[in-house]
Amino acid sequence: MSPQSEPASPFRAGAIVIAILANPREKFWGAILQLSSVGLSMRGVDLSSFDTFIAQIRDGEPFAAGAMFFPMHRIERLELDLPEGSLPSLAQRFAQKTGQDPAPMLVSEFLPAATANTEDMRAGAARGQEEESNAAGDSGTGSGESR
């Protein structure tokens, strides 16, 4: 299998994740800067400070998410920050409360190309939704989701 035909990893630079660490047990929310066999570099906040971080951004205070490195032996689990059923993801909660997309904010200093990729992916998803809607022929049948 050639490298070009391999699917992209969901755990790539710029992905919003929750990292669960061991010794001591900690949880961090943020964006991957780099993931390798050595460890995880990310920019984000301790999960217990998430609501404070949102309030800080919403109130226009200086940005305080740290860039961190965790050696691989501390990483117990890495989860993509995705919605579960009717519960929004943490990134969606962040966007709802601050009016800002967290991905570009977290990676812009470190991964300028990732910011452009995030915008390209969002535009592509919007086009795909429009195409699905047009293909349905405006029959009034939707996914049942409210936005």
Which of 63, 42, 67, 41 is closest to 52 using CA atoms?
63
Q: Which residues are registered as beta bridge partners of 70?
A: 40
Task: Report the DSSP beta bridge partners of residue 97.
Answer: none
Q: How confident is the model at residue 9 (pLDDT cuts 50, 70, 90)?
A: confident
- Is 3's pLDDT higher than 50? yes
Integer Cα distance of 105 and 3 in angstroms = 30
Fold of 3-135: SH3 type barrels. (2.30.30)
pLDDT tens per residue, range 69-116 = 999 999 999 999 999 999 999 999 999 999 999 998 888 877 765 444
What are the domain boundaries of the chain? 3-135
Convert the pLDDT of each residue in 32-83 to its tens digit.
999 999 999 999 999 999 999 999 999 988 776 789 999 999 999 999 999 9
